[in-house]
C-alpha cells in the first residue's frame, strides 16, 4: 500500500511526500481510512508505530477541506513531551494548509500558549491539567469541537487523569468523532472506549504487547558496585552510537549521569525533578546528538520519539514487564535494529524471573571481561504445606506464588 491511495487533499499528500514517507505503517493503513470516513476509532498502538500521523492526517484533512476557522479538534495527551512531539508532527503535516495548532501544557509560560489560541488555532494539543485551567478561565471553549483524540489512554489512566478526562469530555459536543489510542487494551482503556466512543472500529497492531523482534536483548549479571564500571565499559563500544540509560529513581539518574560526565561521556539526565526547560534542553540536545547518552527515569520511557537510538541500557530493571517493553521500545524504531542491555544484580532476580516468564524466553547472559562473573538464579517456588501444625503457620512458609 502507498500513501497515494488515501483520498486526502493534495496539500496533505504534498507534506507526506516532503517528509519522504511512502508506505503507511500498519496502524496508519488501518486507522486512516476509517477516520476519514468519520467513524470512531480505537487503536492499540505504541509510540513508534506512526500513530500520531494516523490521527493527524485525517483530522487535518477534514478541517482543511471544510476550511475550518474555529477550534474544532482536541488532542488529549498525558505528558508535555508527548504534546510537544505531536505538535511538531502537526506542523509538518499541516504545513501546506491553513490549519494551525496550539499546545496547552503545564510547566511552561502561559503567554505563548494563549497567543497561539488567540491567533486562531483549529487544533488544540493539550494535557488535562492546564486545559481545565484554561477552560475555567474562559481562555478555551470546547463547544465547537468536532474531533477528539485521546492519546496514550493507558498512560492517562496510570497518571490518574480519569476525573479530568471525564470533565473535559462532558464539555465537548455529543455529536463528534472520537479516536482513542493506547499501548495496551487492559480494562482501563477499554472502559474509556466504552464511555466516550460510539461503535468504534477496532485496530490492533502487532497483537499482544511484546518487544519488536529486531531488538537484541541481553542480561549482564553484575554486583551492585560494578554496575557503574560495567556501564562505562559498555559505553566504550563503538557500536553504541546513542544510548538511553534507565534508572529506577531520579536520584540514581542524577548520580549515574554525574558518574558518566566525570568519565568524559557526553551524558545528560531527564526526569521529573528537572524543570521543563531543562528537560526540553536535554531532549533537544540528545536528539541533535550533542549528547551521546541520556540517563532517564520511566517518566521519559513512555512516548518519547527519539529516532535512531542504538542502545537502551537498563541500569536497573523495572518492576513490571510492561515497563521493560516500553523502555526497550525506544530502540529499533520504525523497523530498525537495536540492542537492549540490562544490568542485573542478585537482588533483582525476582524481577528478572518475572520478566523472562512473561517474555516466554530466557535472555542471553553476557559478561564484560575483567569483571567478577556472577550467576543469577531465579528464586525457587516455595512449597507450601497444607497440613496443620505450628511449623506451617510460620510466616516463612507463606505462599509466595507470585514468584513461582
Q: Which residues of 148-165 are buried (b: 16+ CB within 10 A; e: fewer)?
A: bbbbbbbbbbebebbebb
Across the chain, how many H-helices and E-strands are there? 15, 14
* Closer residue to ligand AMP in complex, CB, 44/351: 44
CA distance 85 to 67: 25
Complex with ligand AMP: residue 44 or 52, whichever CB lies closer? 52
Q: Does 336 bind ligand AMP (CB under 6 A)?
A: no
Q: How far is the CB of 49 from ligand AMP (least distance, A)?
A: 5
- Mark out the alpha helices in 72-127 (DSSP H runs): 80-93, 110-118
The region of 23-31, 163-171, 178-186, 359-367 touching ligand AMP under the rule CB under 6 A is 23-31
Of the residues 29, 51, 219, 353, which one makes contact with ligand AMP according to CB under 6 A: 51
Size of the site for ligand AMP (CB under 6 A): 15
Q: Which stretch binds ligand AMP (CB under 6 A): 29-37, 46-54, 184-192, 209-217?
A: 46-54
Question: Which residue, 28 or 226, is less far from ligand AMP as judged by CB?
Answer: 28
The residues in 216-235 that bind ligand AMP, with binding defined as CB under 6 A, are none
CB under 8 Å to 147, separation ≥6 — which residues?
A: 59, 62, 72, 73, 74, 176, 177, 178, 179
Residue 15 as a binder of ligand AMP (CB under 6 A): the answer is no
- Shortest distance (Å) from residue 374 CB to ligand AMP: 38
Q: Tell me the chain's radius of gyration from C-alpha atoms.
A: 23
The least distance separating ligand AMP from the CB of residue 323, rounded to whole angstroms, comes to 18
**Nearest CB to ligand AMP, comparing residues 26 and 200:** 26
Q: Cell 504487547 maps to which residue? A: 209
Write out the three cell numbers for 144: 465547537
- Residue 53 C-beta: closest distance to ligand AMP, Å: 5
Minimal CB distance to ligand AMP: which residue? Answer: 52
Burial per residue of 236-258, b for 16 or more beta-carbon CB atoms within 10 angstroms, e otherwise: eeeebebbbbbbbebebbbbbbe
The answer to whether the beta carbons of residues 353 and 404 sit under 8 Å apart is no
* Nearest distance in Å: CB 373, ligand AMP: 39
Q: Is 365 exposed, middle or buried (0-12, 13-18, 19+ CB in 10 A)?
A: middle
- Identify any residues that bridge with 179 across adjacent strands, giving them in sequence order: 41, 149
Grouping H, G, I as helix, E, B as strand and the rest as coil, residue 280 is helix
Q: What residue has cell string 504534498? A: 14
Position 47 contacts ligand AMP (CB under 6 A): yes
Q: Which stretch binds ligand AMP (CB under 6 A): 20-28, 175-183, 286-294, 358-366?
A: 20-28
Residues 263-322 that bind ligand AMP (CB under 6 A): 305, 307
**Is 21 near ligand AMP (CB under 6 A)?**
yes
Distance between CA atoms of residues 123 and 103, nearest Å: 9
Q: Does 79 bind ligand AMP (CB under 6 A)?
A: no
Helix, strand, coil % (nearest 5) of the chain?
45, 15, 40
Does 338 interact with ligand AMP (rule: CB under 6 A)?
Answer: no
User: Is residue 182 a contact residue for ligand AMP (CB under 6 A)?
Assistant: no
Stretch that binds ligand AMP, among 47-55, 186-194, 221-229, 240-248 (CB under 6 A): 47-55
Residue choice 15, 44, 52, 351 for contact with ligand AMP (CB under 6 A): 52
Residues that bind ligand AMP (CB under 6 A): 21, 23-25, 28, 47-53, 305, 307, 334
Amino acid at each position: 500500500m502507498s500513501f497515494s491511495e488515501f483520498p486526502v487533499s493534495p496539500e496533505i499528500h504534498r507534506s507526506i511526500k516532503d517528509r519522504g514517507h511512502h508506505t503507511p505503517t500498519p496502524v496508519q493503513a488501518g486507522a486512516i481510512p476509517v477516520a476519514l470516513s468519520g467513524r470512531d476509532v480505537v487503536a492499540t498502538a505504541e509510540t513508534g508505530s506512526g500513530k500520531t500521523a494516523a490521527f493527524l492526517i485525517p483530522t487535518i484533512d477534514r478541517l482543511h477541506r471544510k476550511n475550518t476557522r474555529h477550534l474544532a479538534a482536541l488532542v488529549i495527551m498525558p505528558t508535555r513531551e508527548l504534546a510537544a512531539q505531536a505538535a511538531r508532527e502537526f506542523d509538518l503535516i499541516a504545513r501546506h494548509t491553513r490549519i494551525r495548532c496550539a499546545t496547552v501544557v503545564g510547566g511552561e509560560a502561559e503567554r505563548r500558549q494563549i497567543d497561539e489560541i488567540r491567533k486562531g488555532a483549529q487544533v488544540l494539543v493539550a494535557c488535562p491539567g492546564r486545559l481545565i485551567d484554561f477552560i475555567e478561565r474562559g481562555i478555551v471553549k470546547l463547544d465547537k469541537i468536532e474531533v477528539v483524540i485521546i492519546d496514550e489512554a493507558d498512560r492517562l489512566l496510570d497518571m490518574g487523569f480519569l476525573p479530568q478526562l471525564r470533565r473535559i469530555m462532558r464539555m465537548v459536543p455529543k455529536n463528534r468523532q472520537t479516536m482513542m489510542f493506547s499501548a495496551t487494551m487492559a480494562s482501563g482503556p477499554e472502559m474509556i472506549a466504552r464511555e466516550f466512543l460510539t461503535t468504534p472500529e477496532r485496530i490492533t497492531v502487532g497483537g499482544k504487547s511484546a518487544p519488536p523482534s529486531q531488538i537484541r536483548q541481553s542480561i549482564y549479571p553484575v554486583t551492585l558496585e560494578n554496575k557503574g564500571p560495567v556501564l562505562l565499559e559498555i559505553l566504550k563500544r563503538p557500536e553504541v552510537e546513542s544510548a538511553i540509560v534507565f534508572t529506577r529513581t531520579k536520584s540514581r539518574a542524577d548520580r549515574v549521569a554525574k558518574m558518566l560526565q566525570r568519565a568524559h561521556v557526553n551524558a545528560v539526565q531527564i526526569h521529573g525533578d528537572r524543570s521543563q526547560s531543562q528537560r526540553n534542553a536535554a531532549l533537544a540536545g540528545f536528539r541533535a546528538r550533542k549528547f551521546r547518552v541520556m540517563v532517564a527515569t520511566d517518566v521519559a520511557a513512555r512516548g518519547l520519539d527519539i529516532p535512531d537510538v542504538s542502545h537502551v541500557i537498563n541500569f536497573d530493571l523495572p518492576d513490571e514487564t510492561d515497563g521493560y517493553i516500553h523502555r526497550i521500545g525506544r530502540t529499533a524504531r520504525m523497523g530498525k535494529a537495536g540492542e537492549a542491555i540490562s544490568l542485573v544484580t542478585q537482588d533483582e532476580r525476582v524481577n528478572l524471573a518475572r520478566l523472562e516468564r512473561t517474555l516466554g524466553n530466557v535472555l542471553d547472559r553476557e559478561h564484560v571481561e575483567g569483571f567478577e562473573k556472577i550467576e543469577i538464579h531465579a528464586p525457587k517456588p516455595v512449597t507450601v504445606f497444607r497440613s496443620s501444625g505450628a511449623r506451617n503457620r510460620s510466616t516463612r512458609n507463606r505462599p509466595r506464588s507470585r514468584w513461582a
